[in-house]
Amino acid sequence: MTETIERLRVELGERAYDILVGPRLIERAGGEIAPLMRRRQAVIVTDENVAGHYLAALRDSLSTAGIVNHAVLLPPGEETKDLDHFGRLAEDILAIGIERGTMLVALGGGVVGDIAGFAAATLLRGIDFVQIPTTLLAQVDSSVGGKTAINTAAGKNLLGAFYQPRLVLADTASLATLPRREVRAGYGEIVKYGLIRDADFFQSLEAEGPAVCDLEPAALTRAVMVSCRMKAAIVAADERETGDERALLNFGHTFGHALETETGFGDRLLHGEAVGLGMVLAFDFAVRLGLASGQDSHRVRRHLAAAGLPTELSAIGLSGSAADRLLAHMGKDKKVRDGAITLILPRRIGEVFVVRDTPAEKLRAFLAAAR
Ligand SMILES: NC(=O)c1ccc[n+]([C@@H]2O[C@H](COP(=O)([O-])OP(=O)(O)OC[C@H]3O[C@@H](n4cnc5c(N)ncnc54)[C@H](O)[C@@H]3O)[C@@H](O)[C@H]2O)c1
Ligand SMILES: [Zn+2]
């Protein structure tokens, strides 16, 4: 069987790069990366879980392509995205003896991509890096667009940089070892693309969603490609999120980040789950404001629930009594401008828009009544 690798270009002028999507790209990584290198040295950053599955294959592939390679392993989990781990990672990489032409290779989920990307942005004032995302969330979202960051005591992703990779290799076969819950969480971000500006894609997911979540190759590659294409187009139009365009990608995220903060950024609620529930809340709130229809809101909740994602606060052990705390978390969101809460709200499935000056009182009343 011939395996199709799809290729997509992120058009960012001199920072343009390709995204490759398809099975077994890790085994081909050396051949894909070598032409981009200024110096045949690579440092792989990965986490212990991913290393157990794919580090050997990646190192083999790099070595076969004549690339001298080193690996730095991080503990898995969101806790890794902090200043302590970042400091140690930077020291470990520098201790290897890197130069400006060294390539950093981020092998893993969004945690590895974000911390390794930020290391690439800052080491020696910036070295090239490649993303090899191994979670569904990272393949459709975090590896595309050049946002890199770590968390601080003040909040999530508050220390970072816009820094584009030279290449993204989304090996769809690597998802086979990903826990099912992580697959479903990543699927939440796929649904997001349909909701923000492609009603037809959302409709196709209503039919193909189960196949995507079961990692059926054709449906999976299609969903990853549509997602990456949309994110790439939005990023190309608004690389540094100065206009409203790129902010639309934050649909579900202001609510979602508040839920993540409230539940402690841990196993209780994964990022993609928080985004899924955040999108449901955004639809419900939009219905309450008279902006969207209850029918659309219902359809979104039904689809996410069918995919096995939480769609009620009670499902994650929260209730309306958390309203004030959630509102406070939302007030700390980066998307706050001049003190007013900015939300991305839907008009309908396939169309969302930026609402500045969301009346805090209405939002509080809505959250207090949410189940
Ligand atoms: N930069 C961006 O634009 C952006 C966008 C969205 C999310 N993010 C960030 O991404 C992070 C979440 O990323 P994530 O959901 O990928 O989580 P993650 O990186 O923590 O990975 C989830 C878990 O799966 C394991 N894992 C990864 N790949 C595996 C595989 N193929 N087989 C088996 N296990 C595997 C990991 O070790 C980890 O335990 C958050 O920190 C979030 O802030 C960044
Ligand atoms: Zn996200």
Which tens digit of pLDDT belongs to each residue from 301-356? 999 999 999 999 999 998 888 899 999 888 765 555 555 688 999 999 999 999 98
Helix residue ranges per DSSP H, the chain: 25-33, 48-50, 56-64, 83-96, 110-122, 136-137, 180-197, 199-213, 217-237, 244-247, 253-263, 271-288, 294-306, 323-331, 360-369
Ligand 1 lined by 296 (C-beta under 6 Å) = no
Q: Per the structure block, which two tokens stand in for 7?
A: 């290729």
Is 241 annotated in the active site? yes
137 Cα to the center of ligand 1, angstroms: 7
Summarize the confidence of residues 140-159 as an average pLDDT: 93
Is the Cβ–Cβ distance between 83 and 149 less than 8 Å? no
Between residues 42 and 156, the one the model is more confident about: 42
Closest listed residue to residue 280, CA positions, set 268, 267, 269, 294: 294
pLDDT of residue 334: 54
pLDDT of residue 210: 96
Of all ligands present, the nearest one to the C-alpha of 261 is 1
Summarize the confidence of residues 195-202 as an average pLDDT: 97
For residue 147, pLDDT beyond 70 = yes
Q: Per the structure block, which two tokens stand in for 66?
A: 């004549």
For residue 152, pLDDT beyond 70 = yes
Nearest CA to ligand 1 atom 29: 178
d(Cα 210, Cα 189) in Å, to the nearest integer? 15
- Confidence tier at 241 by pLDDT (50, 70, 90): confident
pLDDT of residue 339: 55
Q: Within 13 Å, how many C-alpha atoms sit on residue 47's CB side? A: 20
Ligand 1 lined by 50 (C-beta under 6 Å) = yes
Closest listed residue to residue 70, CA positions, set 31, 110, 104, 109: 104
Percent above pLDDT 90 for the chain: 84
Between residues 236 and 347, the one the model is more confident about: 347
Ligand 1, atom nearest to 117 Cα: 1
Summarize the confidence of residues 212-239 as an average pLDDT: 95
- Confidence tier at 72 by pLDDT (50, 70, 90): very high
For residue 70, what are the β-bridge partners?
43
d(Cα 248, Cα 258) in Å, to the nearest integer? 17
Between residues 199 and 237, the one the model is more confident about: 199
d(Cα 35, Cα 11) in Å, to the nearest integer? 19
Is the Cβ–Cβ distance between 322 and 328 less than 8 Å? no
- Confidence tier at 357 by pLDDT (50, 70, 90): confident
pLDDT of residue 113: 98
pLDDT of residue 361: 85
Question: Is 10 strand, coil or helix?
Answer: strand
pLDDT tens-digit readout, 244-293: 888 899 999 999 999 998 998 778 999 999 999 999 999 999 999 999 99
Alpha carbon 313 to its chain's center: 22
Provide φ and ψ at 62, rounded to 5°: -65, -45
Percent above pLDDT 70 for the chain: 97
Options 32, 78, 182, 241, the catalytic residue = 241
Options 59, 166, 229, 231, the catalytic residue = 231
Closest listed residue to residue 4, CA positions, set 172, 245, 127, 204: 172
Q: Are strands 17-22 and 167-171 parallel, antiparallel or unpaired?
A: parallel
Mean of per-residue pLDDT scores for the chain = 94
pLDDT of residue 2: 56
Dump the DSSP string for 229-242. Answer: HHHHHHHHH-TTS-
Q: Per the structure block, which two tokens stand in for 73?
A: 């392993």
Closest listed residue to residue 348, CA positions, set 301, 285, 297: 297
For residue 243, pLDDT beyond 90 = no
- Confidence tier at 156 by pLDDT (50, 70, 90): confident
Between residues 68 and 333, the one the model is more confident about: 68
Summarize the confidence of residues 101-126 as an average pLDDT: 98
Using N-to-C axis directions, what is the helix angle for 180-197 and 199-213, rounded to 10°?
170
Mutation test residue for ligand 1: of 53, 54, 79, 142, the one with most atoms within 8 Å of CB: 142
d(Cα 112, Cα 98) in Å, to the nearest integer? 19
